[in-house]
Chains A and B, each alone.
Chain A
Amino acid sequence: MVNTLAPEPTGRTEHGARPAVPGTGGRTRRRRRQSVVAYLFLAPTLLFFAVFLVLPLGFALLLSMSRWTGFDLGGIDPVGPDNFTALFAAGSTFLTPILTNTLLFALGTVALALAGSLLVATCIERLRFQGLWRTLYFLPIVTTVVAVGNVWKYMYEPGGLVNGVLNGLGAGSVAFLADPGTALPSVVVVQAWASLGSAILVLTAGLKAVPESYYEAAALDGAGPVTVFFRITLPLLRPSLLFVCITQFLTGLQSFALIIVMTKGGPGDATDVAALEMYRQAFSYGDWGTASAAAFVLFLVVLAVTLTQLWIFRRKGEDV
């Protein structure tokens, strides 16, 4: 071993801090022992990653290029890229309406949640009992999607709360979830409603980081509230806004539990989204190949959208 032949650094003997292990051999041994211990500590995690992350990923890739009905593992029939081409073939519903719905759903929830949380978060900053307000807005987040979906589904019904209010105001009833024209926007509202609380929290954290002196300087210069908002608050809030934007967009592109609960993709395919389609192909029709291919396409869309968002904000000079 080369290390043991190396001369002892003088500083060490002077301090006398090291115990009586001659040379650096003890150190290497300790290093080695620490490595073993470290991997012992990591063993459950790495085992999990291997079995439930790496293996599934390979399996999904294999399935996406096979035809398989889901029974005998020996019956996996490799077909190459057929599943992918079928998704985009003429007459396939995958591009329209399914992927279109997915993007509209995500865009709609991001726009609503962003606008709503920005409005509420800046307003809460000027009120007392801030904690109470934030807690109230947070309630939907700790609630199961089954509860949120069912309560809103019921509220949208002809005899439900929303139509009750509309009728009370003298307006006619709207068949929110039963009409293909209003079904998707109606679910979008619910998704945005449910995610408002966490967006408010992130923006609040961003608002608190804006130095008070900026506002004082603006006040001295006689800037009005609108100018202050657009010239100071909004630019300084950009990292938080980007964070909300990206995470909400990701959630929006992937979500389907709310849709399963509220509309099951209907009426017709008005609210059918990619993750729901993937789920149905696999677990209702037993077409695991198509389902896995759809999953990968959705994954690529998610990746592309996220990278684009990062790129746009980077170009504007933000460190994210």
Chain B
Amino acid sequence: MTRRRFPWLPYLVVVAGAVLTVVPFLDMVMTSFKGPGEAGTLPYRFLPKAFDLSNYRAAIDQLDLPVLFRNSVVATAVITGSVLLTSSLAGYALAKLRFPGRDFVFRLVLATMMFPPFLFFIPRFLILVHWPLAGGNDLLGRGGAGLTVSIVALAVPFLVNGFGIFLMRQFMVAIPDEVLEAARIDGAGEFAVWWRIVVPQTKPVVVTLGLLTFVDAWNEYIWALLVSTANPDVMTLPVGIQLLQDHVDPARTMPVVMAGLVLSVLPVLLLFLLLQKHYIRGVMLSGLK
């Protein structure tokens, strides 16, 4: 391409944009180290006077961080594990098995991706609250708090992911039938064929889907907010930190909130930087988010 009149222009655009992207994160980190009365005062200062670690102490004390962390970890782990398992199983059936109704099920999976999630917030919440014989409910789902008493309630709406099934199926279609047929002739059942032959071959897509699911689950806010409104014991990190920000005088506690945010963002950020090649390829593959 012959366009050498302003060779510095692309650099300028990209670097300026990158600065705009990164500066809010730096501001978050810097604010988390500011002392009392140092944040939110005029004139604005980017750097803290001294790097004050007490905000992290305060965030950990005020937030009951170990519990929030545990809830976030359990919910994220359950969601990621379930999505990978169900997507792989269903993807295999849709890609490699012949059965009546296959087209219908596949179209159903595609259709589930079209429905906006907000449509389901209210009824799903009500179904969990009125789940029969759970959390003090009777057979008709009355009287108690239903499934909202358990950490698992955080994970329930995300256990199966239509997009995950679709991704797995597309990947598995490319596995040659001869390989599977050979295993079947050797006497392997379908479960063994799936576990021994298909699952090992789908490692790249498992990593991709796992990362996408992990990040989404870790950052989930609205559903976690609903569930923890019904039962504060299952509060997750994002909900807890937002609560902290809601309740106290913003000028004084902003550094504490920022410290909490740094702690909540850090695990995902590290994971992303470690595996960003897979993750970015995953997003390109999915075209989503």
Interface residues of A (CB under 8 A from B): 19, 31, 34-35, 37-39, 41-42, 44-46, 48-49, 51-53, 55-57, 59-60, 63, 70, 72-73, 116, 119-120, 122-124, 126-127, 131, 133-148, 150-152, 154-155, 157-161, 163-165, 167, 193, 195-198, 201-202, 204-205, 215, 219, 224-225, 228, 243, 247, 250, 254, 256-257, 260-261, 275, 278-279, 282-283, 288, 291-292, 295-296, 298-299, 302
Contact = CB atoms under 8 A, between A and B. Distances in A.
Contacts of A282: 121-122
A202 B289 CA distance: 10
A164 B116 contact: no
B108 A161 contact: no
A52 B127 contact: yes
Contacts of A42: 89-90, 93-94, 105
Given A38-B102, A72-B142, A123-B13, A143 B268 contact: yes
B187 to A, nearest CB: 11
B126 to A, nearest CB: 7
Contacts of B116: 250, 254, 298-299, 302
> Which A-B residue pairs are the 6 nearest by beta carbons?
A164-B44, A56-B123, A123-B10, A35-B99, A144-B219, A59-B123
A51 B264 CA distance: 32
B21 A137 contact: yes
Contacts of B23: 161
Interface of B: 1-3, 9-11, 13-14, 17-18, 20-25, 27-28, 31, 39-46, 85-86, 89-90, 92-94, 97-100, 102, 105, 108-109, 112, 115-124, 126-127, 130, 140-142, 156-157, 159-160, 165, 185, 189-191, 194, 215, 218-219, 221-222, 226, 229, 237-239, 241-242, 245, 250-251, 254, 257-258, 261, 264-265, 268-269, 272-273, 276-277, 279-280, 283-284, 287-289
Nearest to A212: B1
Given A44-B160, A135-B276, A193 B2 contact: no
A219 B2 CA distance: 7
Contacts of A122: 10
A145 B238 contact: yes
A37 B1 contact: no
A154 B258 contact: yes
Contact of B218 (A57, A144, A150, A154): A144
Nearest to B129: A70
Nearest to B18: A136
A51 B21 contact: no
Contacts of B283: 138, 141, 198, 201
B47 to A, nearest CB: 12
Given A116-B17, A133-B18, A159-B39, A38 B31 contact: no
**Could you say which of B3, B93, B94 has the most chain A C-beta atoms within 10 Å of its C-beta?**
B93
A197 B283 CA distance: 10
B222 A279 contact: yes
Contacts of B86: 44-45, 48
A143 B22 contact: no
A288 B122 CA distance: 8
Contact of A193 (B20, B108, B241, B257): B20
A64 to B, nearest CB: 10
Contacts, number: 287
6 contacts: A41-B97, A44-B86, A138-B276, A145-B221, A154-B250, A157-B40
A283 B62 CA distance: 26
A73 B258 contact: no
A38 B1 contact: no
Contacts of B250: 154, 157
Given A53-B112, A147-B28, A137 B18 contact: yes
B14 A127 contact: yes
Contacts of A154: 27, 31, 39-40, 250, 254, 258
A8 B156 CA distance: 51
Contact of A295 (B122, B130, B141): B122
B10 A127 contact: yes
Contact of A49 (B22, B108, B124, B237): B108
A136 B21 contact: yes
Contacts of A144: 218-219, 221, 237-238, 264-265, 268
Nearest to B88: A41
B261 A147 contact: yes
Contacts of B24: 148, 151-152, 155, 161, 193
A154 B273 CA distance: 26
Nearest to A282: B122
A198 B289 contact: yes
B124 A56 contact: yes
B21 A257 contact: no
A201 B279 CA distance: 11
B142 A73 contact: yes
Contact of A243 (B241, B245, B287): B287
Contacts of A124: 10, 14
Contacts of A201: 280, 283-284
